[in-house]
Amino acid sequence: MNKDLSYNVKSLCRRKGWQLKDLASKMGIDPAALTRALNGNPTLETINKMATALGVSPTKLIKRQQDISGFVTINGEETSFDSLDELADLLEVNITPRT
């Protein structure tokens, strides 16, 4: 789980333009404590704080993401994605259905 948690947290931070120290600040903890949690055995409370700060469910932090990554150009702007969920989010926000 920790490898998935660390990957997902870092990926979500990247999407928001945050560094881990920004997430730690929003969680109200020391950046070193966040690093220890990502590399060790985080408590459920810490996972919930991460999820709240990132605006996602705790499940999204601990579930294994699909191995997919790439770049997509939408409206002339190139954006990277590191999971199927990220690609779906990009498409949902930026693509207007044809009627």
47-96 pLDDT, tens digit each: 999 999 999 889 888 887 666 778 888 888 888 877 777 787 788 766 66
Indicate if 40 and 78 belong to the same structural domain. no
86-96 pLDDT, tens digit each: 787 788 766 66
Asked if 59 and 23 touch (Cβ cutoff 8 Å), the reply is no
- Whether the per-residue pLDDT at 3 is higher than 70: the answer is yes
Indicate if 14 and 29 belong to the same structural domain. yes
Indicate if 57 and 69 belong to the same structural domain. no
Indicate if 55 and 84 belong to the same structural domain. no
Q: Write the CATH number for 31.
A: 1.10.260.40
Range of the domain at 85: 65-99
Alpha helices in the chain (DSSP H): 2-16, 20-27, 31-39, 44-54, 58-62, 84-94
